[in-house]
Structure 1
Amino acid sequence: MAVLFGLTSTDLLPTAMSQSSPKLSTAESTPLRLGSGINFGNMLDAPNEGDWGLRVNTDWFARVKEAGFDHVRLPISWGYHTAKTSPYQIDAQFVRRVDTIVKACLDADLKLLINIHHDPNLNEQPAQNHDRFVAMWKQIAEHFRSLPNDRVAFELLNEPHDVFNEDAKLWNQWVVDSLNVIRKSNPNRTVVVGPIRFNSVDSLDTLELPQDDNLVVTVHYYLPFDFTHQGAPWTQPVKPTGIVWNANTASIAGGWRNESWDTKTVGTTNGLQAAFERGWAGVQLRAASSRPIPQALELQVDSKVALKISLVSGEQKVAKDVTTAPGEPLRVTFDAGVLGGSFDRIYLQNNTANETQPFIVKSLSLVYADRKESLLSTAGDAIRDDLAKAARWGQQHGRAIYLGEFGAYQEADMDSRARWTAAVRAAAESLQMDWAYWEFASGFGIFDPRTQQYRQPLLNALQP
């Protein structure tokens, strides 16, 4: 393989103002099916391999193949090894290390997905880093151009967010510009691309793709977040532990995220149990995208609770003080003109200065003129509903959907992790989605690098 480590300024495409779309021969333009896979996370995506406690052991690829997986998603943070100024040269020693790992993966008869992973510069300062991003892809694509199209795919950028969340058109243009350079050397390579907001299912409608038959669309799934990320030290505030997951317990409905503060919420078979741990604590539900103002919000609680119920849009809020009666439905209406016709958050806030006894929200719905939308679901149904939404988008747009990440952090109990993992995997497969679990041997890992053995409950959940 010829290695291209640097570019001159004349090699770069026009900046993000360019509107040309890549076109390619369709003689071999059936997207690659990756099947079942595992992410080799916290290895090459660290600032330096080993910084996060793991280095790639090339013997692991054979273990992955023996366990029944079809591919490896290889997160690579090229940006930590790329010059900040033109010609944006990628470090040759790092490229050689990647080559060793790529060869080991393919020698183990696994398919491979190569991406650009963590790079805060790209998400926080895209205007200053557009040419650098394009230059990285020109080098990566040139370098790996001879790898077989039926074994290796590229993924443009892991979880675009930050500034891209504010301007989806900017990310859509980056997709076009990076594809332009990739298609010059890899006209028929399968390329994976995901939407903004960390590849959220609910952001798929913001994704506008160019005419290219060899694109696959990826989403990531970590809901309910308070279960999958309980105890994770990088979340602030750190989510409380002890959250158990069962498919038949109450859960926040698909399209909504639990961002409660100083409140412990637990799904039960009777509803969503909430405990305010201090005065003015609250349950906060955030919609993935703005929602129309309802005629009313309807709820039923199993005990008497003093609540301040609010609809919130940006910095604007409308609120009502209510006291529930045990077991009786309560309908709350709002003077919502100040919100401008839409909202994206709901607060159920403790309206006293004291900690409260746990109570159960048995039902919670938005009431519209023609429908009632429940904000609660069962945990299993919420997963299926969320992934089905992605599948419908894929059918409507003629794109295969790839579930590139899902996983539950090690602070959750193992039985719950296995149940949740099996439910997500089964839902994805029922919708004909290829998938890759996050991840192999770190905090979410299915493999213990100390004992060199699989964590059998998680492996069974993924390879039943």
Structure 2
Amino acid sequence: MLRLILAALMVLGLLAGPATAGSFTPISAEDQTTRMGRGVNIIGYDPYWQDGGKGNYEDRHFKAIKDAGFSTVRVVLFTFPHMDAQNQISETWLKKLDWVVDTALKHDLNVILDEHDFTDCSRDAAVCETKLTAVWRQIAPRYQDRSNRVIFEILNEPHDKLDAATWNALFPKVLAVIRATNPQRNVILGGTQWNSRNTLKDLKLPDNDLHLIATFHYYDPFNFTHQGASWAPPEITALKGLTWGSDAQRAQIDADFDAVKAWSDANKRPILLGEFGAYDKAPLESRIVWTDAVTRAAEKRGFAWTYWQFSSDFIVWDFANDDWNRPILGALIPDSPALSGKP
């Protein structure tokens, strides 16, 4: 009898059942952030997205991510190159995305769909508005009935032509497109200047939408985290051997994250630290210390986080050796079962 009553309540929507791959039940932004917990950015620069490209990712990699102690994958999506002249996304590409979403959900991972065409968007705000609304007009309804573990991120790192005023005028239009089919799904939004923590104060989030999670990225000090990186300014590219770990440097992280927490509390918006990492050419011991310090600082303040990134560079998984980059994994998740060889 009790079982029949519970089943009836679920049908009426009065009792939330498990969030399966084929059903959506609302969850608060705060609870979503808690569930996201520890995460990692995946797939963006992998050959998987190329037409006919198999890529490196397999089902077992999602299992490895979950088994290592991560709860979330932030899927880096370069959608614009896969749109035709009418801004229709290739069905082949969309089916590839379906596989990523389905596989992540199969392994009980939260899935952030991160629209990552920030370079194109930041060159031309008008083109960005057209293409970005077209992207979400197609992706949002495609996943409207999926589990609440699927979270949308409107655009990674707006900057340049997307200054605060322009971004505050543009993102509500894109959000309205999403809300047409996903009125209660949680959506991630960050400020300008590459999702700088300093621009959260300029972000004009709608008071009547409580299903929003604010994000920021953290690569400070930039001369340490990006030393030797070919895409950095020449004076940063030329750096090598720069270390990190003084008391003053650690205190700066606390000060920076305290400021984000103060904004979060004042505005009643939960926080995702969407990207952070130190490039592979920085001294490994300092990378470990920095990664541990940033991760613990985020967790202490209740921020969810997604490390940049699983593969390509800043890596926590080494495809060449088919194994974890154990020093970096240990800095992220000190108690990870993968470090002790457990399955």
Percent identity over the alignment is 35
Give the Cα separation in 2 of the matches to 1:242 and 1:114.
35
Equivalent position of 1:355 in the other structure: none
Match of 2:205 among 200, 209, 216: 209
Equivalent position of 2:124 in the other structure: 125
Give the Cα separation in 1 of the matches to 2:244 and 2:218.
15
Equivalent position of 1:69 in the other structure: 70
Alpha carbons of 1:423 and 1:403: their partners in 2 closer, same or farther (altered >3 Å)? same
Give the Cα separation in 2 of the matches to 1:400 and 1:455.
30
Does structure 1 residue 171 correspond to structure 2 residue 163?
Answer: no
- Note the C-alpha offset of 1:41: 4.8
Alpha carbons of 1:101 and 1:29: their partners in 2 closer, same or farther (altered >3 Å)? closer
Match of 2:187 among 178, 182, 191: 191
- Note the C-alpha offset of 1:121: 2.6
Question: Which contiguous aligned blocks of 4+ residues in structure 1 show a shift greater than 4 angstroms?
Answer: 44-47
Q: What SS does the corresponding residue of 1:192 show, helix, strand or coil?
A: strand
How is 1:307-456 mapped onto 2 (pairs within 5 angstroms)? Answer: 378-456=248-326
Equivalent position of 1:39 in the other structure: 41
How is 1:54-93 mapped onto 2 (pairs within 5 angstroms)? Answer: 55-83=56-84, 85-86=85-86, 88-93=87-92
Does structure 1 residue 222 correspond to structure 2 residue 210?
Answer: no
Q: What SS does the corresponding residue of 1:163 show, helix, strand or coil?
A: coil
Worse overlay, 198-207 or 114-123: 114-123
Q: Output the amino acid matched with 1:136.
A: V
Give the Cα separation in 2 of the matches to 1:44 and 1:177.
30
Equivalent position of 2:230 in the other structure: 233
Q: Output the amino acid matched with 2:122.
A: N
Preserved CA contact (<8 Å) 2:43 2:57? no
Give the Cα separation in 2 of the matches to 1:173 and 1:422.
37
Preserved CA contact (<8 Å) 2:46 2:312? no
Alpha carbons of 1:102 and 1:49: their partners in 2 closer, same or farther (altered >3 Å)? farther
Give the Cα separation in 1 of the matches to 2:134 and 2:52.
26
- In structure 2, the gaps of 5 or more residues are 1-24, 335-343
Deviation by residue 1:305-340 (Cα, 9 ceiling, x = unmatched):
xxxxxxxxxxxxxxxxxxxxxxxxxxxxxxxxxxxx
Alignment: residue pair count = 303
Does structure 1 residue 161 correspond to structure 2 residue 178?
Answer: no
Give the Cα separation in 1 of the matches to 2:325 and 2:49.
27
Give the Cα separation in 1 of the matches to 2:49 and 2:69.
30
Alpha carbons of 1:36 and 1:42: their partners in 2 closer, same or farther (altered >3 Å)? same
Preserved CA contact (<8 Å) 2:151 2:185? yes
Q: What SS does the corresponding residue of 2:162 show, helix, strand or coil?
A: helix
Q: What SS does the corresponding residue of 2:231 show, helix, strand or coil?
A: coil
TM-score of the aligned structures, taking structure 2 as reference length: 0.84
Alpha carbons of 1:43 and 1:152: their partners in 2 closer, same or farther (altered >3 Å)? same
Equivalent position of 2:7 in the other structure: none
Q: What SS does the corresponding residue of 2:180 show, helix, strand or coil?
A: helix
Equivalent position of 1:180 in the other structure: 176
Q: What SS does the corresponding residue of 2:216 show, helix, strand or coil?
A: strand
Give the Cα separation in 2 of the matches to 1:46 and 1:416.
32
Q: What SS does the corresponding residue of 1:164 show, helix, strand or coil?
A: coil
Alpha carbons of 1:384 and 1:48: their partners in 2 closer, same or farther (altered >3 Å)? farther
- Note the C-alpha offset of 1:401: 0.9
Give the Cα separation in 2 of the matches to 1:399 and 1:163.
26
- In structure 1, the gaps of 5 or more residues are 1-26, 249-377
**Greater relative contact order, per chain length (Cα 8 Å cut-off, separation 6+):** 2
Match of 1:458 among 328, 338, 342: 328
Preserved CA contact (<8 Å) 1:44 1:76? no
Preserved CA contact (<8 Å) 1:45 1:77? no
Preserved CA contact (<8 Å) 1:115 1:158? yes
Q: Which has the higher helix share?
A: 2
Q: Output the amino acid matched with 2:295.
A: R
TM-score of the aligned structures, taking structure 1 as reference length: 0.63
